[in-house]
Amino acid sequence: MRIDVITIFPDYLNPLREALLGKAIQRERIAVGVHDLRDWTHDVHRAVDDSPYGGGPGMVMKPDVWGEALDEVCGSDPERMPLLVVPTPAGRPFTQRTAVRWSREPWLVFACGRYEGIDQRVIEDASRRMPVEEVSIGDYVLVGGEVAALTMIEAVVRLLPGVLGNPASAEQDSFSDGLLEGPCYTRPEVWRELPVPDVLRSGNHAAIARWRRDQALERTYRRRPDLLDALPERTLDAGDRAV
C-alpha cells in the first residue's frame, strides 16, 4: 500500500517512521510520502490561507494551493487514482469497519486541514477525478488533520498482511465481532493481592472462551450499549442471551 500525506507541518508525521509503522516501511509493506503543502505556494510569504467569504472568525485554506498539490501528488492517470481522505470533524465517523475497507485500497492520500478547514471546492474538484471521503475520528475538534491522519493510518496499516506479529490478535480485538474486548491478564498470578481470574488458569479452553465472551458482552453493555443494539440477533448464542 502507498500512503501520501499533505500537510503544512510535515514533522508532525514523524511518528509514521516509529515502531510498527516504521517496521512496515522497512519491510516494504507500505511506502510513505509526506509532502509540505507550502511547496505549492508561489508568493513570498508561502501563504496557504485566506479570510473566509461571508465573514466570520478564522482563516480558510486556499483552493489554488491545495489544487496544485493534489494534481501533483495524485497524478492524472484515471486507471490509477488514490482514495483521497480528508479528515474533518464534520465528516462521517471513521470506524474499524472503515479501517478494514481502506486496508484493501492500494493507495491512500490524506489532505490535512488547519484553521477553519479547506475550501470546499477542493473536495468538489477532486471528487471529479477520484473517490473522496471526508471523515471524522470523533466528536471533538482538533487543531489540525495530522493527528487524525496518524490515527487512521495506524488503524489501517496494522490490518495489512505481515504487519502484526500475530494476525490473530487483530481478529480478536475490540469491534471485530461487534463487541468491546474484555480484560486481559499476565504474570504474576497474584499481584498486590489481586488474583488472575481462576478460569484463565484452568486450562479449560471452552470455559475460557465462554468467560471471555461473557466479559466482552458485559463490558460492551456497560460502556457501549449502542454497539449491542447494532449486533445482529443471529450472531448471539444461548450463552450470550443468558448474560
Binding site for ligand SAM (CB under 6 A): 87-90, 112-114, 116-117, 136-138, 140-145, 148
Which one is catalytic: 10, 52, 63, 89? 89
CA pair distance 40, 8, nearest whole angstrom: 11
In whole angstroms, how close is the CB of 122 to ligand SAM at the nearest point? 11
The residues pairing with 108 across neighbouring beta strands, listed in sequence order, are 3, 83
DSSP, collapsed to helix, strand or coil, labels residue 35 as strand
Which member of 36, 68, 173, 218 is catalytic? 173
The question of whether 49 is a catalytic residue gets the answer no
CA distance 222 to 119: 41
Cβ proximity to ligand SAM: between 148 and 216 the closer is 148
Contact (Cβ atoms closer than 8 angstroms) between residue 202 and residue 208: yes
Exposure string (b/e) for 59-93, b if CB count within 10 Å is 16 or more?
A: bbbbbebbbebbeebbeeeeeebbbbbbbbbeeee
CB of 27 to ligand SAM, least distance (A): 29
Minimum CB separation from ligand SAM for residue 16, in Å? 17
Q: Is 89 noted as a catalytic residue in this protein?
A: yes
Is 116 in the active site? yes
Give 53 or 140: the residue with its C-beta nearer to ligand SAM.
140
Question: Helix, strand or coil for residue 229?
Answer: helix
Task: Closer to ligand SAM by CB, 143 or 243: give it.
Answer: 143
Name the binding residues: 113, 137-142
State residue 133 phi and psi, 5-degree precision. -125, 125
Active site annotation includes 158: yes
Taking the complex as a whole, the smallest distance from the CB of residue 232 to ligand SAM amounts, in Å, to 28
Active-site residue among 105, 116, 177, 214?
Answer: 116
Nearer to ligand SAM, 53 or 106 (CB): 53
Task: Please state, in angstroms and rounded to a whole number, the distance separating the CA atoms of residues 176 and 186.
Answer: 23
Q: Write out the catalytic residue numbers.
A: 89, 116, 158, 173
